[in-house]
Amino acid sequence: MSYSFTEKKRIRKSFAKRKGALPVPFLLSTQLESYSAFLQAWTPAEQRKNEGLQAAFNSIFPVESHNKFARLDFVSYQLGMPPFDVRECHQRGLTYASPLRARVRLTILDKESSKPKVKEVKEQEVYMGEIPLMTNTGSFVINGTERVIVSQLHRSPGVFFEHDRGKTHSSGKLLFSARVIPYRGSWLDFEFDAKDFVYFRIDRRRKLPATILLKSLGYTPEQILAMFFQFDTFHFGKKGIQFEVVPERLRGEIARFDIEGKGGKLIVAKDKRITVRHIREMQEAGIDKLTVAEDFLVGRVLANNLVDKDSGEIIANANDEITETLLETLKQAGIAKIQTLYTNELDQGAYISQTLRMDETTDLWTARVAIYRMMRPGEPPTEDAVEGLFNGLFFNEERYNLSAVGRMKFNRRVGRTELTGANTLSNEDIVEVVKILVELRNGRGEIDDIDHLGNRRVRAVGELAENQFRVGLARVERAVKERLGQAEADNLMPHDLINAKPISAAVKEFFGSSQLSQFMDQTNPLAEVTHKRRISALGPGGLTRERAGFEVRDVHPTHYGRVCPIETPEGPNIGLINSLALYARTNEYGFIETPYRRVAKSRATDEVDYLSAIEEGNFTIAQANAELDKKGHFTNDIVSARQHNEFVLAEPENIEYMDVAPAQVVSVAASLIPFLEHDDANRALMGANMQRQAVPVLRAEKALVGTGIERTVAVDSGTAVQAWRGGRVDYVDSGRIVVRVNDEETVAGEVGVDIYNLTKYTRSNQNTNINQRPLVRVGDVIARGDVVADGASTDMGELALGQNMMIAFMPW
């Protein structure tokens, strides 16, 4: 093993039984990558992805005037150089930020022309305010103080099905509900009540029968019944009423008459319950029609409208209950065939049918008016207002955004193979949700676990900043719309139309006073790293301390390798503020992933796959401490593993993945505790939290026993200074190191000298001492990445919290 320059000065003996399959990743990558994707500062304008600032601009522009004769288009944006560097911003009490300029194009159409004809086009760069920049260590300098934007763990957009656990009604009956949560827009809820009627709510307002929503989408009662029910068919003939039998549907029913097979063989006697054996016998006997008495039809529900052939008049409507009087009318009208709804008490409830009967609306218009009155009570329902409100609820991209994540989760939940699609809801989407809800009530399917990490996603800095920037842009859009009408008359330029103040104010407000923008915990390097890797369920759009119950705070099986089960505060925030596990990362959708070694034919390979909580449930995963031979084969016949989030004992040939390291389960702070597995969980929690409170001393003292991650924490926190390039040390004093760079690492035309200015006796946010000390001497040869200077609480490039105690041991 090759040692770096500082590692050679203090060689550590590793007692690890096996080498890790994966080195510890860069600890601040979540923050840095997220904000870099938000800015896309170094990406050419035409190659930028539709995310971050680019997505915010695209969602607001183009802006059109009310008369449609002027339009403002967004072309591109660029970030200028920050006027001051980080150190100067600290000293002067300024914000470390870049000026943002957007190139916009104003197009004015000719009003006199009969066809749309362009009169003039003006393009200009417009100042859009300042965007704070992230330092190399993942923090922001706002008004001279360092702040951290904590990532938020919130409920993923998509569709969720749950029940009330029998708490609502005194009978303890389970009331099922479904909720469609968009990224931006109105929430749509469906729910059962104690009488088994299906209702819907928009934005938790007054509930209405669910069939009103289906009618407002353009479905007729006949179509609604056809979507949710199977039909029984009856023929009226000279021999009486013939019933088309589907034997499977008779299971569990009590026979109202003798059922006989061919040759008069009795299969089911009257008043006996029909069993699976009876059904098999009926199928073998080939019974497909039965002659039934008229009273067999009474009480059944019609599936279609019945029309008199002669007069064209509707005799009976779909969803009407058949009575003896109605039967007589049908006979007299010469109806030859009717279809009724197939329902039973066990697994085919008549929920939609009975809701439809309760629903007083008659057609699409009355249904939409009912929704309008619920959303805007007291306002008169004019045609334009009703149409505008209804189409704006779930079908307009400007007001409703399910997002790529929401669409993926929605499609996966309703059983579609295609995971992409429109970001608004379709009629089919709404019908699918109601169908699954009815199936749950019928006893088929499973509800969702909202604490599963497959149903919760991380909003990192970039996404939070983008949302805030979009809020500022939306305020600007309103003002621009007003001014665009005067653009031609007053000969205005684009910069006259756009006022950057609302954008700056929204961004300033977020970075300065948001609940997720926090004063950085800078007591020691570990406190810094932990703060940047923190995940909070609180904040705007998240939970509140008072409302959060026990389940949300509890450790969930999907936390394994994703969120640390140990490190969380002890007070009212317990379980709501967590720490990212050591190897965890977030994927493109914001779900937390953790790495696993692939196992092929009972042998652990060096291939590593990152799995999200959703994907992990499909595999059998062995633990990191499973014994392997030199070639990587499992040595034991039975291995402790996890399957469907449960601990099981599995045979080696059934194992598909294996943990990459034992420390994978815990966070950075917990993985710094030696022999953590021997600690009591409560004390480990206190230990992990209290390490962050260790005050740096003037002479840091190395830990005698470590866990091997001390160097990583010291370097990744940015406290210890790393060499940018290799070379020979030319000059060293207490505040400055000069390195002559190796020829092969220099670029033509540059000086070839790296100068490291060290921080001397500076105050941290918590009033502790930050002081960097050089570790190299003149003439030393260093390589890229070597530690050249120690910082607060580091010793020879290793994290060194606290002091080693001198103990006198007196055995008598």
Do 692 and 523 form a contact (C-beta atoms < 8 A)?
Answer: yes
Q: Does the pLDDT value for residue 130 go beyond 70? A: yes
Determine the 3-state secondary structure of 745 from DSSP. helix
Mean per-residue pLDDT of the chain: 89
Q: Give rounded-to-5 percent helix, strand, coil for the chain.
A: 30, 25, 45
**What is the per-residue pLDDT for 666?**
95
Of all residues in the chain, what percent carry a pLDDT higher than 70?
Answer: 99
d(CA 20, CA 582): 13
d(CA 486, CA 420): 42
Within 8 A by CB and 6+ apart from 166, the residues are 172, 173, 174
Burial of 746 (0-12, 13-18, 19+ CB in 10 A): middle
Tokens of 49: 């992805």
Q: Does the pLDDT value for residue 239 go beyond 60? A: yes
What φ, ψ does residue 159 adopt, rounded to 5°? -120, 135
Q: Of 357-361, 515-519, 787-791, which gets the smallest average pLDDT?
A: 357-361
Tens-place pLDDT, residues 596-605: 999 998 898 9
Q: Does the pLDDT value for residue 7 go beyond 80? A: no
What φ, ψ does residue 547 adopt, rounded to 5°? -85, -20
Q: Does the pLDDT value for residue 257 go beyond 80? A: no
Kindly give the pairing relationship between strand 787-790 and strand 781-782: unpaired
Tens-place pLDDT, residues 775-808: 999 999 999 999 999 999 999 989 999 898 888 8
Indicate the pLDDT class of residue 307, thresholds 50, 70 and 90.
confident
Sign of the C-alpha dihedral, residues 519, 524, 529, 530?
Answer: negative
Q: What average pLDDT score do residues 764-773 get?
A: 93
**What is the per-residue pLDDT for 25?**
94
**What is the per-residue pLDDT for 491?**
76
Q: How many CB atoms are located within 10 Å of the residue 314 CB? A: 11
Q: How many residues does the chain have?
A: 812
Indicate the pLDDT class of residue 263, thresholds 50, 70 and 90.
confident
Q: What average pLDDT score do residues 625-629 get?
A: 89
Q: What average pLDDT score do residues 337-341 get?
A: 88
Q: What average pLDDT score do residues 534-541 get?
A: 94
d(CA 447, CA 347): 17
Q: Of 214-223, 282-291, 628-637, 655-664, which gets the smallest average pLDDT?
A: 282-291
* Domains, the chain: 29-153+458-519 (3.90.1100.10), 157-222+356-441 (3.90.1110.10), 230-241+291-342 (3.90.105.10), 246-287 (no CATH)
Q: Residue 224's Cα: distance from chain center in Å?
A: 33
**What is the per-residue pLDDT for 2?**
62
**What is the per-residue pLDDT for 487?**
64
What φ, ψ does residue 605 adopt, rounded to 5°? -90, 175
Q: What average pLDDT score do residues 639-664 get?
A: 92
Q: Give CA separation, 274 vs 277, 340, 347, in Å.
A: 8, 21, 16
Q: Does the pLDDT value for residue 476 go beyond 60? A: yes
Within 8 A by CB and 6+ apart from 632, the residues are 603, 604, 605
Q: Give CA separation, 685 vs 569, 575, 679, in Å.
A: 8, 12, 10
Residue type, 805: M
Q: Does the pLDDT value for residue 168 go beyond 90? A: no
**What is the per-residue pLDDT for 632?**
86
Buried/exposed code over 32-64 (b: 16+ C-beta within 10 A; e: otherwise):
bbbbbbbbbbeeeeeebeebbbbbbbebbbebb
Q: What average pLDDT score do residues 55-63 get?
A: 90
Tens-place pLDDT, residues 721-737: 999 999 999 999 999 99
Q: What average pLDDT score do residues 554-560 get?
A: 94
What φ, ψ does residue 115 adopt, rounded to 5°? -100, 155
Q: Which residue, 591, 210, 179, 207, is CA-closest to 425?
A: 179
**What is the per-residue pLDDT for 782?**
92
Q: What average pLDDT score do residues 535-559 get?
A: 92
**What is the per-residue pLDDT for 488?**
64
**What is the per-residue pLDDT for 1?**
46
Q: How many CB atoms are located within 10 Å of the residue 545 CB? A: 12
